[in-house]
Chain A
Amino acid sequence: MVHFTAEEKAVITSLWGKVNVEETGAEVLGRLLVVYPWTQRFFDNFGNLSSASAIMGNPKVKDHGKKVLTSLGEAIKNMDDLKGTFAHLSELHCDRLHVDPENFKLLGNELVIVLAKYFGKEFTPQVQAAWQKMVAGVAIALAHKYH
């Protein structure tokens, strides 16, 4: 189980407070689909994903990105029990969505990169380290119910 120090929790919560969930979610999911095109395999019904600009402007991508980050926001309120928080979503991703957990790592790293882009110098190596722990914890929690 991932354990967060009080300082790490403070760092994560404080940065999250400044994040525009809708904008960031769109950016993160969009970049996942652009940088790793094979991830588009899960989104056949999303319409036009034929180019980077089509992907970044796609309303379904934006919408889904917001959904994903909103869920992450809930997890940030429950950092001591990520596995419990994501139990249902883990089952869903395995049994219904059939998503390889490797993708959770890819998305997590895209989030870190987008946060670096938005926050610049404020996204120090220490802040990044706390967030890498966070996204690793989320990836583990989402994979926990896989069978």
Chain B
Amino acid sequence: KVLSAAHKNNINNIKAAWKATGGHAGERGAEALERMFLSFPTTKTYFPHFDMSHGSAQIKTHGKKVADALSNAVNHLDDMPTALSALSDLHAHKLRVDPVNFKLLSHCLLVTLASHHSAEFTPVVHTSLDKFFAAVSTVLTSKYR
């Protein structure tokens, strides 16, 4: 098991907070992507067809996709390889995103959450989220070779 019980508890706290913002998870996902594209321009190479302007419909849609996948992962913390199996296949065989980029998106997700949920973003919750994103990244790159 990659995530301890303590970390899972903290993630459930953030999951509740995430849910409590009235379904803004998709917006957070889009914001994280926008932050990533601006701060780490090399990540745009995977989206040459995207409109990268602020408010872009494509970034909104993709942000929701990312957020939904993360929500699914949060609901299956004990079973992420199975829950994320299809996404794992997709990243390995079709998308082939270099593993370094998962860290960049994870960082931008943390920045987004810190900025919108500062009160909940304690050092312990921060650690749990960092571990969670790292675990998701590991699962998504697990079938690369």
Contacts and interface: CB of A to CB of B under 8 A. Distances in A.
Interface of A: 30-31, 34-35, 52, 55-56, 109, 112-114, 116-121, 123, 125-126, 128-129, 132
Most buried by B among A35, A55, A126: A35
Nearest to A121: B115
B118 A31 contact: no
B115 A123 contact: yes
A117 B39 contact: no
Query: How many B residues are at the interface, by size bracket?
Result: 20 to 34
Contact of B123 (A52, A112, A116): A52
The SS class assigned to the A binding surface is helix
The SS class assigned to the B binding surface is helix
B135 to A, nearest CB: 14
B116 A126 contact: no
A30 B123 contact: yes
Given A34-B123, A128-B35, A132-B40, 15 more contacts: A30-B123, A31-B126, A52-B123, A52-B127, A112-B107, A113-B107, A113-B111, A114-B114, A116-B115, A117-B114, A117-B121, A119-B115, A121-B115, A123-B111, A128-B108
